[in-house]
Amino acid sequence: MEQLIKEKIKQVKKGDQAAYSDIVGFYQNKIYQHCYRMLGNAHEAEDMAQEAFIRAYVNIDSFDDRRKFSTWLYRIATNLSIDRIRKRKPDYFLDAEVKGTDGLDMYSQISTEDRSPVEEVENLELKRYIHNEISQLPPKYRSIIILRYLEEFSLQEISDILDIPLGTVKTRIHRGREALRKRLRHV
Amino acid sequence: METHNKMIELMHRHLDGDLKKEEEVILRTHLEECVSCQHHFHDLKRTISLLKSVETIEAPINFTENVMAKLGAEKKHFKYKRWFKTHPLITAAAIFFIFMLSGAFVQFEGQSELVVSKQENLIVKGDTVIVPEGVTVEGDLLVKNGNLIIDGTVDGNVTIVNGELIDDDPLEGEGLMASVGEINGELNTVNKMFEWLWFQAKSLFKGVFSF
């Protein structure tokens, strides 16, 4: 797969725009999901995920072929999401507290296995609660926790994506885990 | 309390897979006898498994199409930007050329006062430059925004920009016609923008090649 993506990127660099739609198609779920988890709502997630793909396309010439494209793409998406969180107006947080409504957008998209209706509801409640607790973390801890446990990157990969030293990743993941332990202890 | 904090540090390093064997033993022995640390460790592990249980989310339908449509809409802008990025030399040359042309244009349009190259014995009357009778002017003569009357001799090329060579002064009558001055070189009269540019380019190339 990695090889195929590399080929596509070569084509895009030569000016073949159509080849880029294959790249977007391949990464769209991962990047959208990452933005969703960073931002906590569907609207902003779609905006930022689209913006990430557009930025990657515009700056494709500055992408170093020897590196992993996904790492680069995740970095763009993470930075855009963190920027967006910082730029939010204070009143936005009041909206964000009411998770019940726009949360439906997201949970309706979650793939579900067969469970009894009661279990289903409890399960949804729990997942919503966990998501909410993650989104309460400061962005720099949030991005690392999401990359490590929800998207299962190694610590080294996270260090590459965020372009911060491995030691800093470890310190932040310790603090992030402690913060979440306190929040999720009573679940 | 201090041992407790040290054990928590070990727990996190265990979770990152960074623990040495002897540290692993220290942690395990401590956990066997400390209930509070047991709870802490259990909570951490449980937090992680809760995090991992969060399910996957898919991108909205038409996501790729929307991205590609946005790229299409701004395609031209990107194209130019990328073209300039990949051809820095041509871009630099083009910018240089634009500056040069506009410089020449400003020179042509901007100056309306009379300019004469520095030579002795020239008489300036209003916007007319006169080379008096019996006088020989050494070197090339340049007149901008004015007319030129040559009654004497010019030992070199003559260039007139935005003006013309008057070789006949009607007030003086026929008698003087015979004594119309001499130019021992080329005569150039430049009046139009295009010619002016051509003249500029020519003198630029001459300048370059004379090096």
State residue A94's pLDDT score.
43
Residue A94 lies in a domain: no
Range of the domain at A23: 1-88
Chain A CB within 8 Å of residue B15 CB: yes
Structure tokens at A159: 């260090």
Residues of chain A in contact with residue B86, where contact means CB-CB under 8 angstroms, are: 61
State residue B211's pLDDT score.
58
ipTM above 0.85, yes or no: no
Among A88, A107, A127, the domain-final residue is A88
Same structural domain, A129 and A176: yes
Residues of chain B in contact with residue A141, where contact means CB-CB under 8 angstroms, are: none
Q: What is the CATH number of the domain that holds A19?
A: 1.10.1740.10
Number of domains in chain A: 2
Residue A69 lies in a domain: yes
Residue B174 lies in a domain: no
Please tell me the pTM assigned to this model: 0.60
Chain A CB within 8 Å of residue B73 CB: no
**Minimal Cα distance from A45: which residue of B?**
B59
Residue A30 lies in a domain: yes
Residue A12 lies in a domain: yes
Same structural domain, A78 and A135: no
Number of domains in chain B: 2
Residue A28 lies in a domain: yes
Residue A59 lies in a domain: yes
Range of the domain at B18: 1-46
Residue A108 lies in a domain: no
**Minimal Cα distance from B77: which residue of A?**
A58
Residue B94 lies in a domain: no
Over chain A (187 residues), the average pLDDT of each successive run of 10 is 87 87 93 93 93 93 89 95 84 45 42 60 80 89 93 93 94 94 85
Closest CB from A130, A155, A174 relative to B54: A130
Residue B22 lies in a domain: yes
Q: What is the CATH number of the domain that holds A125?
A: 1.10.10.10
Residue A111 lies in a domain: no
Over chain B (211 residues), the average pLDDT of each successive run of 10 is 85 92 92 92 92 86 90 65 74 86 70 71 79 79 80 81 68 46 75 72 76 58
Same structural domain, A125 and A180: yes
Residue with tokens 């590399």: A6
Q: How far is it, in rounded angstroms, from Cα B86 to Cα A38?
A: 35
Residue B74 lies in a domain: no
Same structural domain, A143 and A82: no
Same structural domain, A78 and A127: no
Chain A CB within 8 Å of residue B71 CB: yes
Residues of chain A in contact with residue B59, where contact means CB-CB under 8 angstroms, are: 28-29, 31-33, 46, 49
**Minimal Cα distance from B83: which residue of A?**
A15
